[in-house]
Structure 1
Amino acid sequence: MASEVEGLVKTGGLADVARALPRYLAQQGHDVRIILPFYKGLKRRDEARLLASRWLPTPAGQEDIGYRLHQLELDGFPVYLIDCPRYFERAELYAEHNQAYGDNGERFAFLAAAALHATEQLGFAPDIVHCNDWHTGLLPLLLKTRHASNPFFAQTRSVISIHNAAFQGVFDRVQFATVPEISHYEQRVAYDYGHINLLKCGVLYADKINAVSPNYANELLTHLGAHGMASAFQQRAADLCGILNGCDYQDWDPATDPHLPANYDAQDLSGKARCRAQLQQDAGLPVVSDPIYGMVCRLTEQKGVHLLIPALEDFLRHRVQVVIVGSGDPSLAAQLQAIAQRHPDRFAFINTYDDRLAHLVEAGADIFLMPSLFEPCGLNQMYSLAYGTLPLVRAVGGLKDTVVDWDQGDDEATGFCFMDPTAHGLLDAMRRSLLYFLQDTDRFALIQRRAMQTRFDWPDSVEQYVQMYRDALAR
């Protein structure tokens, strides 16, 4: 169960995982179904076939909520779509004009309740309901309360994956009028004066909790890394594990990538030069031999954009080019745009998210920037490794689990790491990488090839997920 799935609707990396993990589970013979909201902007919406129209029961004195259940096929398995126009017939998924919908708590509380109701209507009693982030956090609580005595779910267990604990889904309790169970457990899941924390619902009531990298699981047990939820994670430490997301190399392989003007692999990197020239042309930069630093991200403080902005002014004094593709915080976007206007030959900022451009940056850049304040797993550093574009990362979360610093030696290095969460710390790392790029070209090429041969395959992660599911079922 997820709020977005790549190929149907996507705003971030959660969608990639919510498609890839089910795909690889299904390839191993597991019976997998996805439940997703029937958003207005859903791709392939016209292909969905109606399965049923139902009413979700609500407490006495309130009107039951009508919904329809549709089905699509994705990668050979069914996707069930919860259709309720009052909640999901909107221009965007969670927010418009950088402003979250005021009833998001009510919307996703309905989704959790309707998902279990729909599953029962279909006669499909799952062994595991795999929830993802705060949008689905209420479901484990409902299984342990509303459905605790329901024989249909007697063997069902729940797990929740934490893709980003900074987003917890905190809403005024008045949004949960249709979920009376909340009032009985409010002290456990409350957040400050009658607000309910949906992520905490999932963490406290799921049978198992997964953080999307081993290092991030450790960080969630600390007050510095848990975004105010350290005590909840510490209570459940015995049921917390960290499974690194896999990389979907079907979509991210420079040898077959249809978005690129030329393909290449670790044995022959010549096509990378054509990708580089195409990136420069598309970004409006001169086609020169200066090293290119690329970045594709949401414009948020989490991604370290506020560290990069002051570092850029100093870094652009060198003979380099920087290309940033991303959208988000208007203030950060305005600052990047101003820098681009001052340095039109060295810096390009493209204020959008474009899948083709994202692939082109990964292929055309020499070094990829990820100076994140925190990063539960991260996927772009894995894509960068696959494309021979050495990642420069802050050594936190999944970035620390997947990138080995240049100074670790020829047998292990795959990129560049730094720790100090300041503009100065980032600038030092960028200058260090530039020095190595210019002065040690043979070693740079060697590490490029090692990076391209580094693999974080989903089948390896799926084995760990299946073991987690079995551990949950044994509870």
Structure 2
Amino acid sequence: MNRRVLSVTSEYVPLVKTGGLADVAGALPSALAEHDWDMRTLLPAYPGLIARLGDVTQVWADDALFGGQARVLMGRLDAATVLLLNAPHLYDRDGGPYGNPHDFADNPQRFAALSWVAAQIAQSGTSDGWTPEIVHCHDWQAGFAPAYMALCLPSAARSVITIHNIAFKGEAPAAMLGSLRLPIEAFNSDSLEYWGNLSSLKAGLVHADAITTVSPTYAEELMRPQYGFGLEGLLKHRAADFHGILNGVDETQWNPETDPHIARHFNKSTLAHKQHNRTALMAEFGLVACDGPCAIVVSRLTDQKGMDLLVEAIPDFLQAGGCLAVLGSGDPHIEQDLKSLAQSNPGRVGLRIGYDEALSHRMFAGGDLVLVPSRFEPCGLTQLYGLRYGCVPVVALTGGLADTVINATPMALQDKSATGIQFHPVDALAFGQALRRAVSLHQNKKTWTAVQKKGMSQVLGWGASAASYADLYESLIV
């Protein structure tokens, strides 16, 4: 009989996505099924999601969940079982999962409710007789679940929390302790208290049976003050329970041989067909023919992602013959800087503010370089998509970028192991130098093609990572 795990998340591909968390949550159920784990995924029923599931069955109910009636509705999506927390007073609103342009004021209650329901299901199961052995919580949005399981709703289930981005800690005023159903006696530095307030992420890190993050290097970085955002001491204290497990990609969704969104299918043996996608991409962004590489950026437009460095470093790249296509949204000042860059370089810089999943596929298929100058990057999926599509990554030496891209040093080029270009320190000077290396590499077509093909040969799926999660789960319930 399959073992049972409840995944608790605020995002899930293909239902709702703002970042890589959704891709991971969407990929895990099928990946873990190969290791005999039956994963059900619990997430909020944002507007329109129930209709996406079609036939649903009610498997849990509460008439007084943080201010209103709530039901958990179970349905199938492809081969996965999805549990939608239907609580209209919390989730039936416009503005995305968290609010737009600002966070919803009641986000602490909205995601505490998600965590409370997860802990209730861990304790009593669903009405169809399914009870999880593991509750796998993702980021601050599910961070209170391990705390509820430890402090309020004890069960035989064990808990795991995964840090996707520690910069978001789910902070709330200490005065909300009672309204969030948290015991006042646990408000201390060893449990719920975080610099005088509450942090759902800290609560999860303290009370979960195991902690994971999305790459081995990011796990090491998080124990240092420059990356840990005030939680590095806690993570060092829990080092024996802290595991870096690298993310994978869904190789069925991201496959240049079958991708329905791209102009021409290709693989490493038919790499010349990528040129058709490059031509189509440049036309879509209004870019003129250029002798140098066509670089793409698919990113949140924030300082964390190094987009301010992009604005500073890219003019020399354009002068050297390159061109740039950008898709993303984020900080208004960076959006404005990129608009000005595009206006100053017509035919050389194309910009789309927002997000378009199909367009992102076309960009990886047509781009020569994908630029990821992040100041910190827990894992990153962008560079992995680039590798899959022969779109050579130029990345900062940090987090999962360091774990997944093999730098094109002279030695790595000689032994044909290079898959991209890394730079350090993470500043505009080093980024600009990396871009110059990329232009030079692109000019040597034989070497360039070898780097592309090596990247496309990498094993990037969920097989090894899912095995690591399965091993971790098993270790907790032995």
* Alpha-carbon separation, structure 1, partners of 2:210 and 2:76: 28
Q: Does 1:427 align with 2:429?
A: no
Q: Offset at 1:70?
A: 1.1
Amino acid across the alignment from 1:227:
F
Q: Secondary structure at the match of 1:267?
A: helix
Are the counterparts in 1 of residues 379 and 399 from structure 2 also a CA contact under 8 Å? Answer: yes
Match of 2:453 among 431, 449, 454: 449
* Alpha-carbon separation, structure 2, partners of 1:3 and 1:161: 13
Q: Percent identity?
A: 36
Are the counterparts in 1 of residues 194 and 202 from structure 2 also a CA contact under 8 Å? Answer: no
* Alpha-carbon separation, structure 2, partners of 1:314 and 1:97: 35
Amino acid across the alignment from 1:183:
I
Match of 2:47 among 26, 29, 40: 40
2:159 alignment partner in structure 1: 158
* Alpha-carbon separation, structure 2, partners of 1:109 and 1:183: 16
Amino acid across the alignment from 1:318:
A
* Alpha-carbon separation, structure 1, partners of 2:206 and 2:121: 24
* Alpha-carbon separation, structure 2, partners of 1:464 and 1:53: 31
Q: Does 1:190 align with 2:197?
A: no
Superposition pairs of residues 188-267 of structure 1, within 5 angstroms: 188-193=191-196, 195-267=197-269
Q: Does 1:145 align with 2:146?
A: no
Amino acid across the alignment from 1:134:
W
Q: Does 1:462 align with 2:469?
A: no
Amino acid across the alignment from 2:140:
W
* Alpha-carbon separation, structure 1, partners of 2:392 and 2:50: 33
* Alpha-carbon separation, structure 2, partners of 1:44 and 1:64: 24
Are the counterparts in 2 of residues 56 and 114 from structure 1 also a CA contact under 8 Å? Answer: no
* Alpha-carbon separation, structure 2, partners of 1:43 and 1:317: 50
Q: Secondary structure at the match of 1:35?
A: strand
Q: Secondary structure at the match of 1:328?
A: coil
Are the counterparts in 1 of residues 35 and 467 from structure 2 also a CA contact under 8 Å? Answer: no
Are the counterparts in 2 of residues 98 and 328 from structure 1 also a CA contact under 8 Å? Answer: no
Q: Secondary structure at the match of 2:440?
A: helix
Are the counterparts in 1 of residues 292 and 442 from structure 2 also a CA contact under 8 Å? Answer: no
Are the counterparts in 1 of residues 62 and 70 from structure 2 also a CA contact under 8 Å? Answer: yes
Amino acid across the alignment from 2:452:
Q
Give CA deviations for 1:32-62 in whole Å, capped at 9, x if unaligned: 211111111437446152415622667xxxx
* Alpha-carbon separation, structure 1, partners of 2:211 and 2:85: 25
Provide structure 2 residue ranges, at least 5 long, that are not aligned to the other structure: 1-7
1:24 alignment partner in structure 2: 31
* Alpha-carbon separation, structure 1, partners of 2:396 and 2:142: 29
Q: Offset at 1:323?
A: 0.7
Are the counterparts in 2 of residues 3 and 36 from structure 1 also a CA contact under 8 Å? Answer: yes
Match of 1:299 among 285, 298, 301: 301
Which deviates more, 423-432 or 117-126? 117-126
Q: Offset at 1:424?
A: 1.2
Are the counterparts in 1 of residues 53 and 77 from structure 2 also a CA contact under 8 Å? Answer: no
1:83 alignment partner in structure 2: 86
Q: Secondary structure at the match of 1:269?
A: helix
* Alpha-carbon separation, structure 1, partners of 2:79 and 2:423: 42
Q: Secondary structure at the match of 2:37?
A: coil
* Structure-2 change in CA distance of 1:205 and 1:341 (3 Å): same
List structure 1 runs of 4+ shifted beyond 6 angstroms. Answer: none
Q: Secondary structure at the match of 2:295?
A: strand
Provide the TM-score with structure 2 as the length reference.
0.93
2:357 alignment partner in structure 1: 355
Q: Secondary structure at the match of 1:348?
A: strand
Q: Secondary structure at the match of 1:165?
A: coil
Which deviates more, 415-424 or 36-45? 36-45
Match of 1:116 among 119, 125, 130: 119
Are the counterparts in 2 of residues 50 and 68 from structure 1 also a CA contact under 8 Å? Answer: no
Q: Offset at 1:301?
A: 1.2
1:414 alignment partner in structure 2: 419
* Structure-2 change in CA distance of 1:53 and 1:450 (3 Å): closer
1:127 alignment partner in structure 2: 133
Q: Does 1:3 align with 2:10?
A: yes
Match of 1:73 among 70, 73, 76: 76
Amino acid across the alignment from 2:9:
A
Match of 2:61 among 20, 43, 54: 54
Amino acid across the alignment from 1:284:
G
Are the counterparts in 2 of residues 166 and 227 from structure 1 also a CA contact under 8 Å? Answer: yes
Are the counterparts in 2 of residues 170 and 197 from structure 1 also a CA contact under 8 Å? Answer: yes
* Structure-2 change in CA distance of 1:331 and 1:182 (3 Å): farther
* Structure-2 change in CA distance of 1:285 and 1:43 (3 Å): farther
Provide the TM-score with structure 1 as the length reference.
0.94
* Structure-2 change in CA distance of 1:252 and 1:46 (3 Å): closer
* Alpha-carbon separation, structure 1, partners of 2:280 and 2:40: 40
* Alpha-carbon separation, structure 2, partners of 1:259 and 1:396: 31
* Alpha-carbon separation, structure 1, partners of 2:266 and 2:362: 13
* Structure-2 change in CA distance of 1:335 and 1:48 (3 Å): farther
Q: Offset at 1:327?
A: 1.1
* Structure-2 change in CA distance of 1:259 and 1:174 (3 Å): same
Q: Secondary structure at the match of 1:260?
A: coil
Q: Offset at 1:118?
A: 4.4
* Alpha-carbon separation, structure 2, partners of 1:372 and 1:46: 36
Q: Offset at 1:329?
A: 1.4
Match of 2:321 among 309, 319, 322: 319
* Alpha-carbon separation, structure 2, partners of 1:69 and 1:110: 12
Amino acid across the alignment from 1:103:
D
Match of 1:283 among 282, 285, 295: 285
* Alpha-carbon separation, structure 2, partners of 1:450 and 1:467: 30
Which deviates more, 41-50 or 67-76? 41-50
Are the counterparts in 1 of residues 290 and 321 from structure 2 also a CA contact under 8 Å? Answer: no
* Alpha-carbon separation, structure 1, partners of 2:50 and 2:305: 28
Are the counterparts in 2 of residues 276 and 365 from structure 1 also a CA contact under 8 Å? Answer: yes
Are the counterparts in 1 of residues 29 and 38 from structure 2 also a CA contact under 8 Å? Answer: no
* Alpha-carbon separation, structure 1, partners of 2:12 and 2:305: 22
Which deviates more, 312-321 or 113-122? 113-122
Are the counterparts in 1 of residues 292 and 439 from structure 2 also a CA contact under 8 Å? Answer: no
* Alpha-carbon separation, structure 2, partners of 1:81 and 1:252: 26
Q: What RMSD in Å do the two structures reach over aligned CA positions?
A: 1.7
Q: Offset at 1:98?
A: 2.4
Give CA deviations for 1:361-407 in whole Å, capped at 9, x if unaligned: 11111111000000101111111011111100001000000001111
